[in-house]
Copies of this chain bind each other. A is one copy, B any other.
Amino acid sequence: MQSVDRVTAVLMCFTDGEPELGVTDIAQRLELPKSAVHRLLEALTRSGMTAREHERGKYRLGPRATELSLAALGTVDVRSLALPVMEELRDTTGETVTLSFVIGNQRIYVAQVESRQDVRMTVEVGRRAPLYAGASGRAILMTFADAELDHYLSAVALTPLTDRTLHDRASLEEVLTADRLRGYTDSSGERDPYAAAVAAPIVGRSTRAFACFSVCGPRDRLDDAARDRCGPLAVAAANRLTELLRGS
């Protein structure tokens, strides 16, 4: 059914990192006539899957999509899917592996798999942390679109947690730019003076991460060379979880 394919394609456009899209934009992405896209969006808006704030405005996902989302995520236990991937990453790297979710403009540890070594990092599952300090938070931040990042940096005071925390906007943006290129972030002594970590964002099809993995341990052990080795492993694990979530 051609219509079903088109509905799905239009809705999936909203997962590409931009929450608001126009008729012409979607038509170009999907190589469809504007009249067809317009007709689809009008019908989707009437049925609640998309919405827009005013006439001639851009479209966004609507209340029915939110309701569908709550149901869809209720049936997928992200944490259960993640645990085996985390165990594999822990065994490969030898360090503690954590999973954090984004909630608002903070992140929260929801699971960890601890290193088997006697000297190890342990985090307090349930603890929240800001996004600007440390590898995990920045792994999420680096997936933000420019406008979103700008909004975040305007809204949040960059209070240093240790004397190694990046807290001025310019150096933060510079670090994020570099991190985007390699797909992971790293930190040493930013949230805890004796800890170091690498982290990789976890995305759906959206480019905006909803969670991240980190590999963390004592600074002495997770030195520059170890972080260089662990970063790509964290990226691979994050990609693995994304595949599992997609059901492929």
Contacts and interface: CB of A to CB of B under 8 A. Distances in A.
A104 B204 CA distance: 18
A4 B76 contact: no
Nearest to A70: B204
Contacts of A68: 11-12, 14-15, 61, 65, 68-69, 72
Task: Determine the interface band of chain A, counting residues with CB < 8 A from chain B.
Answer: 35 or more
A27 interface: no
A76 to B, nearest CB: 6
Contacts of A79: 103-104
Interface stretch (A37-45, A162-170, A188-196, A214-222): A37-45
A225 interface: no
A236 interface: no
Nearest to A208: B74
Interface stretch (A87-95, A125-133, A173-181): A125-133
A7 interface: yes
Contact of A69 (B46, B63, B69, B127): B69
Given A5-B47, A67-B204, A127-B126, A75 B104 contact: no
Given A1-B3, A70-B205, 15 more contacts: A5-B46, A14-B71, A14-B72, A15-B67, A51-B247, A61-B68, A61-B71, A63-B248, A65-B68, A67-B205, A68-B69, A70-B206, A71-B204, A74-B210, A108-B108
Interface of A: 1, 3-5, 7-9, 11-12, 14-15, 19, 39-40, 42-44, 46-49, 51, 60-77, 79-80, 101-104, 108, 110, 125-128, 203-206, 208, 210, 245-248
